[in-house]
Structure 1
Amino acid sequence: MPARTVQCAALALRRGVVEGGGVKNHRLILLAAIACILFAAPLAQAEFGWLNDYKKAQQEAKANNKFLLLDFTGSDWCFWCKKFEAEILSQSQFKDYAREKLVLLEVDFPRAKAQSPELRKQNEELAQQYQIMGFPTIVVLNGDGQKLWQYDGYFPDGAAAFIAELEKLPKG
């Protein structure tokens, strides 16, 4: 069982949400753990700082003199997107770099996850604007919205090599 799930279940026990012992109580603990799993993934992404509002992300990039990294993804169905997320975007080395140098925007095209019509429209417009032909695709903009780099497909060389590519971009 993942550590986060165990922590959530332990917290539920300590707070008296569920009591230990008995089959019925074990089911409640399991339900509490499942709820923690379902709600932890979006929170982890939000904690790290991924945005989904393009205008807000653009303003933040400009105000903080950072690059805006757009991750065009099919987060709940695209094998290569999931692999890219696990091997690069979720790595502490990338996260540390991103905190200093990037504003992160997820441009998601899910099949099972719900999205607001406004978010779906924004994402479709961005995909058209940057001529996205497949997933994953990374686009990096400067604070003024000028495209500096685009990488189509899975990046196989790991977080350090990906960061090295970003470091080659012209500083503005």
Structure 2
Amino acid sequence: MKQFLIIIFLLVFGSLQAQEWQSSFDKAVGLANKENKPIILVFSGSDWCAPCIRLEKNIWQSEEFKLYASEHYVLYKADFPRKKKNELPLELSETNAALAQKFNPKGHFPLVVVLNKDQSVLGKTGFNVKASPKKYISILNGFIP
């Protein structure tokens, strides 16, 4: 019984965490329009790009960023994993490739693009290892009119 409750807790907690990052770009755009929020579009190589992994750990997973983002941004991660075990479904890979062609044609990783609800670019940034979550939020907010 105890193990069952732990599994239920982990499933519920995991689903709450996963709700911050939208599962599709179309959902992100729809939510941005509905809630009148900017979109944070992240180009990441989750299993090969060291700065991407540090950005994930130091900023995206921080409680400060999660709390702020849930109120102020719509989040979408365009991931480009290289390991076979992390391979994305074809449709998602194609969507991410199309987004890269439009918003990241030079293939920079990580690249964080701030878009308005109409998908116009407000600003772009990468990852500064010295930036705290608070400073990173300030950088992102600096792009928003």
Tell me the secondary structure at the aligned position of residue 54 of structure 2. Answer: helix
Displacement of 1:83: 0.5
Q: Percent identity?
A: 33
| 1:86-101 correspondence runs (5 A) | 86-101=57-72
Displacement of 1:135: 1.1
Aligned partner letter, 1:166: L
Evaluate the alpha carbon distance shift between residue 59 and residue 86 of structure 1 in structure 2; reply closer, same or farther with a 3 A threshold: same
Evaluate the alpha carbon distance shift between residue 149 and residue 66 of structure 1 in structure 2; reply closer, same or farther with a 3 A threshold: same
Aligned partner letter, 1:46: A
The 1-side partners of 2:144 and 2:58 are apart by: 25
Residue 37 of structure 2 corresponds to residue 46 of structure 1: no
The higher relative CO (CA closer than 8 Å, separation ≥ 6) is in: 2
Superposed structure 1 runs of 4+ greater than 3 Å apart? 39-45
Evaluate the alpha carbon distance shift between residue 132 and residue 56 of structure 1 in structure 2; reply closer, same or farther with a 3 A threshold: farther
Unmatched runs of 5 consecutive residues or more in structure 1: 1-9, 16-31
Residue 119 of structure 2 corresponds to residue 128 of structure 1: no
Question: Do the aligned residues in 2 keep the contact of 1:142 with 1:148 (CA within 8 Å)?
Answer: yes
Kindly tell me the number of residue pairs found equivalent between the two proteins: 137
TM norm structure 2? 0.83
Q: Which residue of 1 aligns with 2:128?
A: 155
Residue 57 of structure 2 corresponds to residue 66 of structure 1: no
Q: Which residue of 2 aligns with 1:146?
A: 120
